[in-house]
Structure 1
Amino acid sequence: MKSFEYAAAALRLSAVAGRTLVPVLILLVSSFTSFAQSNSSDGAYELPLKDVLKDIEQHFGVTVRADEKLVAGKNLKYAKWRYRTDVDETLKNVLAPFDLKVKPDGNKKYKVSEFEYYRWPVAEGWAELDRIAAQYKNLTEWEARKKLLRPCIMDALQLSKLPAYPISQPIITPKRKHEGYTVENIAIEILKGVWVNGSIYRPAKIKTRPNGAAGRSKVPIILNPDGHWADHRFRADCQIRCAALAKMGAITISYDLFGWGESGLQFEYADHRKSLSQTIQTLGAIRILDYLLTLKEADPSRVGITGGSGGGSHTVLMTAIDERIKVSAPVVSVSSYMYGGCPCESGMPVFMCGGGTDNLELAAMAAPNPQLLVSDGGDWTDRMPEHDFPYLQKMYSWYGKKENVTNVHLPDEKHDFGINKRTAVYRFMAKNLNLNLAAIEKNGQIDESGIAIEKTTDMYVFGDKGEKLPAHAIKGFANLEKVFEAAIK
């Protein structure tokens, strides 16, 4: 029953009861006015979003599931004017004003979620990459584009002027010896009172130079930033990857995301969802590489980086801005229609550089250095071979190095850093950093069985309960902002 019908019914009842008509007339006028406003341009045809979604369910014969916090208290102007004959288009029109969207949730079922600025429809992502690529038609024009992008990225990260290195030595725990490799934990102060923590894996033995030459052979360095999987650098497959690369002859390091792992002693997990996290993680990686390259056995001509998911985004970004990195392997991350769903990947205006860029163009900045992209059929890298990878091949071909970019696509796999992805990385790093793949092979197959999985607490620098955190450590995001602002002045 409509508002004016309720009012009319009340008027009849009032007359029968012999009551005064004034209150009812007031009700009639107010109800009719409310109805008229919500059903005319005077009230912008405004309706509660919750009611609109219920009406769409009835109108199109679908189910629309929405969390109360996403729709409560929201009113939609020109509500019915946003309807179209197609339910998907209708839902898009209705939810867009609130930065909401829907995802398919079964047959004729939808789920309302927040708008994802970082996730584009495939066709739109491809079209944007084509627009970006149309700006350069040869190597000279591309090199000019790179020279424009790199300083812009550093400026977007607020790292055009790197903060002074704190005058402190890294905190390193005693080595733990395993079969073919050792592990020690490390904390590096990257800003006054702010540390990045990680674990360094080293070959158990470093070969002497050939032909009796004095000294020891130089050892390649591999950074291992990681994604947002549970347990991060403490989880088994991360330990396995770093240990295997160490057994092959590299010094490898895995390190905490900002606000994760031991970083949680200083900051809350919610701080990781703030844009400055992208800057702090980048600064952390730069400082880690600074330190590793001071090691006498480190080979500055053989520096690699590999990471999965958000760590893959970090791999691409670091390779684009730091020319010390010579070999890169982003895993299950790079896509022209995915910009990174965490602020640590897309929180700062990096992708606004050069009139707009994306992860494919940043990946192209690695050329002509060797690069492996691992993709799969269960995430946003699912169509890498179709459009994105040919773009990278074209960019590498301008250097006469098309063979230096490779793609291992695993269409039946999902978003992880499983054995097949690790195998691809091992073989790629062995080839391009001159590592000993035979150290982890058995009968021609990768054999990770000799690798120990350590307890999480064994990988801490600051003690089981953080009791060894230095006294001058800052705590809280507000204090971090103050320290960072002072450091970049």
Structure 2
Amino acid sequence: MVFFSIRSLRFTLLLLNFFLVSNVLNAQIPVESVFHVNRGKTNEWISHKSNDDALQRIINNAAFQYLEKRQGTIDGLKTKSDWLSYRDSIKNILISPLSKFEKTPLNPQITGTIEREAFRVEKIIFESHPGFYVTASLFLPNKRQDPAPAIIFTSGHTSLGFRSKGYQHVILNLVSKGFIVMAFDPIGQGERLQYLDSKTGNSLIGGPTLEHSYAGAQALLWGVSLSDYFIWDGIRVVDYLYTRPEVDVSRIGITGRSGGGTQTAMIAACDERIYAAAPEAFITNYKRLLQSVGVQDAEQNLYNGISKGIDHPDFLHVRMPKPSLIITTINDFFSIQGARETFDEVKKSYVALGKGDNVEMVEDMGKHESTKLNRMAMYGFFQKHLSLPGDSNDIEIEPFPVEDLWSTQTGQLSSSLKCKTVFNLNREYASKKGTSEFFLPEYSAELAGIKLDRKLSSAVFTGKIVKDGMEVEKYFLENTKGDYALPVYVATKADSKADKVLLWLHPKGKEIILESTFVNELMDKGYTVVSADLPGMGELSNPDFSGDGIVEQVPLNYLFGANLVGKSITGIQAESIDLIVEFIHKDTRNKKRKLHAMIENSASFSFLHYIALKNPFDRSVVINQYLSGPEGITKEYYNPEEAFFSVPGSLPYYKLLNLVELHPKHRLKIIKTPLSEGGVKESLNFFAK
């Protein structure tokens, strides 16, 4: 990526993160796997062939528990009063994150106009936050009602925003039928790139989903969902329409496909001034989404959304009885089964309010795409509910060249105006959060979603590796929740009289024992060395993962999924460390042995969170480059690995250094020296004190 050229060599080296390494290591020589079976070509335990999906399974299981609880609530809603009460509670959850924003002056500018025979286009810039600009176009039919209904058009994931031919086709068809249409660029698309390369005019991060995921991952750490900014932009679009005398504000609709469907559903749920909504190619439900393609890029994920009881039907329940149309295609990657289940559920709330006909669903053959049948259904829906009868046929209309619809001179706000980005807004809004003078470790556990209730049910011994006078016992640890098995190595010398145990956690996972030139030195000092693959590492990482939020080889989709269920990757891994400690303590060979820990780099996030709650280690050394200076995660261009392991919502309240300060210096030492440059000696000297 061009992105790398603007960062230091040290920063680039950080990108050799555990996922890049562990995905290679996952294709191990079979005998090194703890799941290896010495039987011909059968190399894995049948029950653990999908163990590399451990991280996803943990997230999914947590989600399914919340969704089952939610379903129980839904099943208990019978009367109109029940549903109205539920609607109000859901709306409060959806709009409360927006309370941090203020409606400040829009300061709209019309930067140009285009005249066509049947309509006029005004090119517009306005401020949804002070100094944070939105680019848009207002399409005004020459022959229209006075005042006329207006439709907000939200764009899916294209770098062109609403200027792509497919989106222009829909916009111009709506205009031809007499609707005023306001189309605007989402954050990270069109003229609103957040990470602009001024030399190329392109994003330094990548396409729209990567722009969203990079900005969104950092926003989460401040306790903000990128969706908050997307929704607020849409609300301010409605505010702008209210300033236009041509618009009948009692007849406002909204539609968009894919990412535009996401925005349509969320904006319409949060702004009751929108009368009719038609989200396309987004609505499913979380159960089917998690069972199929998994969590998508950042702007689709509310902060702790599933743990707060939110599912896709709620974006429509909260609108009842206003008209809503779910637009789907049968072979979309957004599960059609989930869409059908959502429609069936939402129908119940509308029927309870006596407006069953106000919620509709249309589906057509197709993948993740627009079809003529679906477009015509959408036109007809708005013609009916926004009181503008007419022909709902889909016709061909010549689109504009992309540059003609630019609201700025350069085609990018960042190079045309002095403007803020989401990064700037994060810092502004997060600084308004109150922080406690006294840090409580229990609060870090709550934010990280750590629950030390996963107990060791069995340590399964699967064989031994002998190498250079070292014996490595292989185990996998089963736990009471039964969702994954934790791979562990225990290394000793054949003639060892070990009197200490060292837990060595490294981003590479347990393979460090077989690779390191230092392990014999550690054993010579009387250590039995234990290492493991935490969820997301080694044999618990999925080399085939292909989410749409992978930035610099870091699969941020997992972070977004963990956030949805009120957890974190760090919290999930901290829970697995507790299993390892239980395993060490249950081994009779370790009775009365001192327990030390040597933790490297990204593995230290989970370790520091774990020992903040429960510290069984006599002494611990943490080799952590993230503690060597100002926290890089608060910079505009940050290391996505650091975001991956940081806890959503934690930045306003505590830092890793706060976790360090919980422990006396004789029990925990932070060193900057890599093991290969003297860190082993420094660690052993500390352990020997």
8 Å contact 2:253–2:275 — kept in the other structure? Answer: yes
Comparing both chains, which one has the higher relative contact order based on Cα–Cα distances under 8 Å and sequence gaps of 6 or more? 2
8 Å contact 1:245–1:252 — kept in the other structure? Answer: yes
Q: How many Å apart are 1:471 and its aligned residue?
A: 4.5
Alignment: residue pair count: 382
In the alignment, which residue of structure 2 is the partner of 1:376? 329
Q: Percent identity?
A: 24
2:384 pairs, out of 431, 438, 444, with: 431
Structure 2 counterpart of 1:317, which letter?
A: M
CA distance in 1, matches of 2:356, 2:40: 52
In the alignment, which residue of structure 1 is the partner of 2:305? 350
2:27 pairs, out of 50, 67, 70, with: 50
8 Å contact 1:132–1:357 — kept in the other structure? Answer: no
8 Å contact 2:163–2:402 — kept in the other structure? Answer: yes
Q: CA RMSD of the aligned region, Å?
A: 3.5
Q: How many Å apart are 1:258 and its aligned residue?
A: 0.8
Q: How many Å apart are 1:332 and its aligned residue?
A: 1.5
In the alignment, which residue of structure 2 is the partner of 1:172? 110
Q: How many Å apart are 1:437 and its aligned residue?
A: 2.8
CA distance in 1, matches of 2:101, 2:409: 30
8 Å contact 2:78–2:352 — kept in the other structure? Answer: no
In the alignment, which residue of structure 1 is the partner of 2:634? none
* Runs of 5+ consecutive residues of structure 2 not aligned to the other structure: 1-24, 197-202, 435-689
CA distance in 2, matches of 1:192, 1:118: 41
> How has the CA–CA distance of structure 1 residues 473 and 262 changed in structure 2, closer, same or farther, with 3 Å as cutoff?
same
1:481 pairs, out of 426, 438, 449, with: 426
1:298 is the counterpart of 2:247 = yes
CA distance in 2, matches of 1:93, 1:224: 43
What are the Cα deviations for residues 138-179 of structure 1, in whole angstroms up to 9, with x where unaligned?
221221122222222222x3x11432414x521223321224
> How has the CA–CA distance of structure 1 residues 358 and 447 changed in structure 2, closer, same or farther, with 3 Å as cutoff?
closer
**SS of the residue 1:383 aligns to:** helix
1:227 is the counterpart of 2:156 = yes
1:187 pairs, out of 125, 150, 154, with: 125
8 Å contact 1:161–1:488 — kept in the other structure? Answer: no
8 Å contact 1:277–1:344 — kept in the other structure? Answer: yes
8 Å contact 1:202–1:247 — kept in the other structure? Answer: no
In the alignment, which residue of structure 1 is the partner of 2:670? none
1:327 is the counterpart of 2:276 = yes
**TM alignment of 1:27-426, pairs within 5 A:** 49-51=26-28, 84-85=45-46, 90-96=48-54, 99=55, 130-155=71-96, 157=97, 159-166=98-105, 169-207=107-145, 217-229=146-158, 231-264=160-193, 270-273=210-213, 274=216, 275=220, 276-336=225-285, 337-338=288-289, 341-353=296-308, 356-379=309-332, 380-383=334-337, 386-410=340-364, 412-426=365-379
> How has the CA–CA distance of structure 1 residues 332 and 465 changed in structure 2, closer, same or farther, with 3 Å as cutoff?
closer
8 Å contact 2:280–2:327 — kept in the other structure? Answer: yes
CA distance in 2, matches of 1:62, 1:251: 66
8 Å contact 1:198–1:255 — kept in the other structure? Answer: yes
> How has the CA–CA distance of structure 1 residues 52 and 277 changed in structure 2, closer, same or farther, with 3 Å as cutoff?
farther
**SS of the residue 1:341 aligns to:** coil
CA distance in 2, matches of 1:305, 1:264: 23
Q: How many Å apart are 1:296 and its aligned residue?
A: 1.1
**SS of the residue 1:173 aligns to:** strand
> How has the CA–CA distance of structure 1 residues 85 and 454 changed in structure 2, closer, same or farther, with 3 Å as cutoff?
same
**SS of the residue 1:182 aligns to:** strand
Structure 1 counterpart of 2:137, which letter?
A: S
Q: How many Å apart are 1:292 and its aligned residue?
A: 0.6
What are the Cα deviations for residues 411-461 of structure 1, in whole angstroms up to 9, with x where unaligned?
x211112322211111111111122433xx6xxxx2422x22111111111
CA distance in 2, matches of 1:198, 1:176: 13
Structure 2 counterpart of 1:163, which letter?
A: E
Q: How many Å apart are 1:202 and its aligned residue?
A: 1.3
Say which is worse superposed, 222-231 or 418-427, in terms of deviation.
Answer: 222-231
CA distance in 1, matches of 2:338, 2:306: 20
CA distance in 2, matches of 1:59, 1:236: 58
What are the Cα deviations for residues 214-255 of structure 1, in whole angstroms up to 9, with x where unaligned?
xxx211121111221453311112111111112212211221
* Runs of 5+ consecutive residues of structure 1 not aligned to the other structure: 1-47, 64-79, 102-114, 208-216
CA distance in 1, matches of 2:353, 2:233: 31
**SS of the residue 1:172 aligns to:** strand
**SS of the residue 2:248 aligns to:** strand
What are the Cα deviations for residues 254-287 of structure 1, in whole angstroms up to 9, with x where unaligned?
2112111111166655442114421111111111
